[in-house]
Amino acid sequence: MTKVGCILLMILISPILLNAEIEGRILCAKTEEPIRYALIKTENADHITMSDDNGCFTLPVSEFPCKILISSQGYEEKKFTANYQKNNLIYLSIDPIRIKGLSVSTDKGTALKLSSADVEILVPEDLGQKSTQEMVSSLPGLLIKESATGEKQLQLHAYEARHCVYLIDGMKTGNSMGNPVSAIPVDMIDHVEIISHNAGSTSGNSAIGGIINIVLKKSRSHLHKHEIILHTGSWQNCSFNYQNNLPLGGSSVLCNLYGRTAQNNFSYYNKYDEKMISRMNNDIKEGSVSLQSRIALKDDAYSKLSLLYYKAERGTPGQSNDYIWFENARGKADRFYINSELHVPFGKNLFMSSLFYQFNKSHYENTTGNPFYIGNSTNKTSTFEARAKLNSTGSVMSSISHLGVRYETYQFDDHLHPESSISQKNRTFLYLSNETSIPFLIGLQKFSFIPSLRADYFVEDDMYLSSHFTIEYPANSENFQMSISGGNSYAMPEFSSLFWKGDSQVQGNPDLEPERSYGVSGNAKVKFGSFTLSSESYFNRIENLIYWYRTALGVWRPDNLADAELYGFSGSIKWMVSDNFEVEVNGSRNYPINKTSNADHYNKYLTNKPLHKMQGKITYSFLTLSFFASVLNVGKQYDNFSNTVVVDGYTTCDAGTHYTPQICKKLKTTIAIRINNIFNVEYETSRNIPSPGRNYEVSCSVQFL
């Protein structure tokens, strides 16, 4: 009888189990507002529903407890384990909605900051940009400049290149051969976050001008995709990129392989000799492999491991004097980084720990017969950083806190003159930072006050404080936002400037003082109808600005030569004329003024700072075909302190077309053709460093889902 009773009980209960329902509510993690029309489905997608106007839902399930997936436009997808049939509260974190080629504000800010008004977000267009640098430089305040050694560097507003800090997924990178942006293929990038002006409270040392954070694509546990991108163009420019996302249950792996080769030699007109001359030794061979794994742990916790190895060899045109380019100089670069992260959510809070290591090696060699230019040297840098991070979201306030330690090394080996080598130098510092968003009301208007403070303690040196304060209004809005910010930052002297033993031409300075800055900025962003407008103005004072100068004996030496004031404004407008036609215009005007009171160049412009930049772009699309045309105008710059030597401004035009047919349900292709510098304009980004003329590019992308 007992067995019969059990069987009858199971028969009665089975329909209930098979037709169980769970009830819950979907809320925004930051505002706690209900999320309407969120998609909720079981893990196997056998049952699907949507949330109502109050964020509530009811979902039938075939087992209990069960795992469900929740997604909504503008929010991060979340996997949730429902242990209760009723009263399930599910919080979704905001994922910024990004418009191609346009910086947008969100009510989340970014992983770097709570203030969305302080951060600009850029995304790569589908094969529309040639490189990572070009994608980033679409921001009004960013320019690409080329050094005498052929390195492409990013200049943020009118700051020095060394005053712009580069991050990869929030971790600060170091580099001994140009900036690390060129080592990241554009196809690996999900988006780029840019903070302009005094960002020392976010990343500490050297962020006087701001931060560029490259956020890599993340592996996805629900997507199996292969993508191949082929690229070719003028001067035997060819590249290959293969990317594969592989789901492994609740975990996933993303792999990216990249290779490129190019000659890059071109001819230009030398106005001094009045004849065409070839700029040689611009070839490059580079490649990288990156790997990212995401391992799902218990209760929505997960760990992530990121690896990147980059290797390059290229010709080094060398220092240009009267348009003379080295023919035998070579540069080799090796870069490696590994980043391990652990993410543990608890309630509406998130704890993260990171271990980060990177190594950079650059080898320069010139086998010319002229003893004045011969060289063979190696730079090595390495960094280890351990960091703990806590994102706390309360009912009223939210905050981001960091605690970490960072260890940096630098070494220079002169293989021809060992006496000029620099033995390994070390720098260790501890840091602690906090940023808190505090809402408050003035009448019926809601504001946010966001103070940020960071302390860096350098072992055997001193402690430096960086701060930043933002008042943001309104606290949450998609159509209008404005803010006023202020802060201070610092920059420690570079190792090479301090310890360079030099030769007959170059000498370091061990007595350099840190550069310090303080300033304010304000911005506004508004969207009405088919128009989106943004504007910014800023003022920043830098003291103890370091410059290399030539002494009376002809030796180049760094010194705290100048105090400076940098101020200016920028703005952008986007007009969606129709669903398939849009117009974008942006620009910036900078005033980098020397304020060294006891110098004869007081109130003169600082050197190598273009005074303005204007960009315009139109895009028209029809079905799977789109066209674009753009124009870039960069203003003049001065090459000496007395402002008597001028590098002229220039205007270039580009155009191209994209064709994106959907071959079948699981196969998608994109073909792009682009012509750069259509009118073959001759120009220089720096004095005596000519830039290429007209050139073309063709790209093809194939995606297998």
The pLDDT tens digits of the residues spanning 351-407 come to 999 999 999 998 989 888 777 778 898 989 999 999 999 988 877 888 999 999 999
Q: Give tens-digit pLDDT for 506-528.
A: 788 888 999 999 999 998 889 88
Judge contact between 51 and 26, C-beta under 8 A: yes
Chain position carrying tokens 């302009």: 196
User: CA 487, CA 469: separation in Å to the nearest integer?
Assistant: 6
pLDDT of residue 341: 94
Numbered ranges of CATH 2.40.170.20 in the chain: 212-704
User: CA 116, CA 200: separation in Å to the nearest integer?
Assistant: 17
Judge contact between 297 and 303, C-beta under 8 A: yes
Structure tokens at 375: 């060289």
Question: In sequence order, which residues have a C-beta less than 8 Å from that of residue 290 and are 6 or more positions away?
Answer: 188, 216, 255, 256, 306, 307, 308, 309
In the predicted model, is pLDDT for residue 553 greater than 90? no
Read off φ and ψ for residue 54, nearest 5 degrees.
Answer: -100, 10
Numbered ranges of CATH 2.170.130.10 in the chain: 116-211
Q: Give tens-digit pLDDT for 102-137.
A: 333 333 446 788 877 778 877 776 445 556 666 777
Judge contact between 162 and 178, C-beta under 8 A: no
User: CA 97, CA 116: separation in Å to the nearest integer?
Assistant: 12
pLDDT of residue 311: 93
Task: Give the DSSP letter of residue 653.
Answer: E
Numbered ranges of CATH 2.60.40.1120 in the chain: 16-92
Question: In sequence order, which residues have a C-beta less than 8 Å from that of residue 651 and are 6 or more positions away?
Answer: 631, 632, 633, 634, 681
Percent of all residues in the chain with a pLDDT value above 90, rounded to a whole number: 34
Question: In sequence order, which residues have a C-beta less than 8 Å from that of residue 494 and are 6 or more positions away?
Answer: 162
Question: In sequence order, which residues have a C-beta less than 8 Å from that of residue 508 and are 6 or more positions away?
Answer: 496, 497, 498, 499, 500, 501, 502, 557, 558
Look up the CATH architecture of domain 16-92: Sandwich (2.60)
Average pLDDT over residues 600-617: 90
What integer best gives the mean pLDDT of the chain? 83
The topology (CATH level 3) of 116-211 is Ferric Hydroxamate Uptake Protein; Chain A, domain 1 (2.170.130)
b/e map 242-275, b = 16+ CB within 10 Å: ebbbbbeeebbbbbbbbbbbbebbbebeeeeeee
DSSP assignment string, 342-383: EEEEETTEEEEEEEEEEEEEEEEEE--S-TTT-EEEEEEEEE
Task: Give the DSSP letter of residue 102.
Answer: B
In the predicted model, is pLDDT for residue 18 greater than 80? no
Judge contact between 24 and 53, C-beta under 8 A: no
User: CA 67, CA 88: separation in Å to the nearest integer?
Assistant: 12
pLDDT of residue 10: 44
Question: In sequence order, which residues have a C-beta less than 8 Å from that of residue 644 and are 6 or more positions away?
Answer: none
The topology (CATH level 3) of 212-704 is Maltoporin; Chain A (2.40.170)
490 class by beta-carbon count within 10 Å (0-12 exposed, 13-18 middle, 19+ buried)? buried
User: CA 73, CA 484: separation in Å to the nearest integer?
Assistant: 29
- pLDDT bucket at 179, cuts 50 / 70 / 90: low
Please report which helix (H) or strand (E) contains residue 276, including its range.
Answer: strand 275-279
Pairing of strands 164-168, 210-216: parallel
Query: pTM score, two decimals?
Result: 0.81
pLDDT of residue 287: 93
Chain position carrying tokens 């977000």: 121
